[in-house]
Amino acid sequence: MRVLVTLLLLSCIAGTPAHELRPPVITVDLSAAPAVTITIKANLEALLAGIGTRHKNTDDAPQAAQYRALRALSPTQLAAETRRRIDGLLQELRLSFDDRPARLQLRELRIPEAPDTTVARTSELALETTIPPGSQQLRWAWPRRLGDNVLRVRLPGEQKLYTAWLRDGRPSDPVDIAGLVEPSAAQVFRNYVVLGFTHIVPKGVDHILFVLGLFLLSTHWRPLLYQVTAFTLAHTLTLGLSVYGLIALSPAIVEPLIAASIAFVAIENILSPQLKPWRVALVFGFGLLHGMGFAGVLTELGLPDSQYLTALLSFNLGVELGQLAIIASAGLLVLPWSRRDSYRRLIVVPASLVIAAIGLYWTWERVFLTTA
């Protein structure tokens, strides 16, 4: 059983958050109609390598070596490579007006300096086209091979954006370009619950390890309930405050502290077999940090303006379902051994050692190997 648990935890190491793949964000700006600007905010190296969001991170993809070679390029070199390949990518993008495909052209590339090649960088491609006279609707489709993407549409005279999360390359619903058509509450609820869940399972490796650390402390349900409740209340609080722009903390600070929180709970599992009152307070504090980490995803992907609260609560529900899925899976895995005297020696201590080692490595990596 010890080998099984260790293998389960080691399998999580395959993808560190530094190379996590997030859906590209596409903004179709019609505010200067008939001119149209399409901005694609994405991991450009992953796009050129053909790596989509079906993979947790770039290291999981068969094209990982090609991605690393592209990631090693300077912004000038990557821009040249992008311009060399751009026609092939543009042929796969589908922006249509009344089912008439638009001809997209590259206007500008914005690639940031990011000398630390172990960290993914986010670039921007600015495309342009024009709206044919008399058009009533637009539709957008992303290449299926590249997976999910987030569509945002800005209309003339409108402050709010149409927002849709499109899974697995599915085309968007028609968007009325004479008046904004909002997604239904049911669509927003479904999409953001799934987004929250998948941010934990399978993509949230650091959050998975933290929850496993809470789970391993004791086989009794009360210690787990106290910790999970404190963690949930805390990350819900900072998730909401961060998304609404009321608090902000640099990822350069948040990410190392999240890694340190993973190591802390695992080390305490080794040193103490029982729940200490102050651990609940510390878990609450760690939850505040994890909530800021969750908020980074929503801030980057955006929320529909007219159903902001629905999307926020739905995402949080998805996160909770993901955490419960981890706890339930871990519980089923160790259930036959949980009442044995050897449970702590054979399961808790070895598993916590693995989690602590990963957490300490990530802390060191995020402090000394990443750039602000």
Highest mean pLDDT: which range of 11-20, 51-60, 68-77, 147-156 = 68-77
Check residue 179 and give its pLDDT.
Answer: 55
**pLDDT for the residue numbered 295:** 87
In angstroms, the CA 146 to CA 157 distance is 32
Residue 13: per-residue pLDDT: 42
The Cα–Cα gap between 192 and 308 comes to 11
Q: Is 204 helix (H, G, I), strand (E, B) or coil?
A: coil
DSSP string of 12-66, one letter each residue: HTTS-GGGB----EEEEE-TTTTEEEEEEEE-HHHHHHT--TTSSBGGGSTTHHH
* Residue 33: φ, ψ to 5°: -50, 145
**Domain locations in the chain as residue ranges:** 20-181, 192-368
What pLDDT, on a 0 to 100 scale, did the predictor assign at position 185? 83
Label the pairing between strands 25-29 and 35-42: antiparallel
| Span 227-237, average pLDDT | 93
Q: pLDDT tens-digit profile of 63-114?
A: 999 999 999 999 999 999 999 999 999 999 999 999 999 999 999 999 999 8
Tell me the CA distances in angstroms from 149 to 1, 52, 101, 301, 339, one per residue in order: 40, 10, 19, 9, 46
pLDDT of residue 181: 53
Confidence of residue 180 (pLDDT cuts 50, 70, 90): very low
* Alpha carbons 228 and 280: distance in angstroms, whole number: 9
Express each pLDDT in 337-366 by its tens digit.
878 888 899 999 999 999 999 999 999 988
Report which of residues 109 and 156 the model is more confident about. Answer: 109
pLDDT of residue 273 exceeding 90: no
Q: What pLDDT is recorded for position 227? A: 92
Per-residue pLDDT band for 19 (boundaries 50, 70, 90) equals low
> How confident is residue 9, by pLDDT bands cut at 50, 70 and 90?
very low
* Residue 231, pLDDT score: 93
Average pLDDT over residues 118-126: 90
**Can you give the pLDDT at residue 267?**
95
Of 164, 315, 298, which is closest to residue 243 (Cα–Cα)?
298
Q: Which percentage of the chain shows pLDDT scores above 90?
A: 55
Report which of residues 316 and 299 the model is more confident about. 316
What's the rounded Cα separation, in Å, for the pair 213 and 322? Answer: 15
Average pLDDT over residues 301-320: 84
Task: With cut-offs at 50, 70 and 90, classify the pLDDT of residue 182.
Answer: low
The Cβ-side half-sphere exposure at 94, using a 13 Å CA radius, reads 17
**Which pLDDT band holds residue 10 (cuts at 50, 70, 90)?**
very low
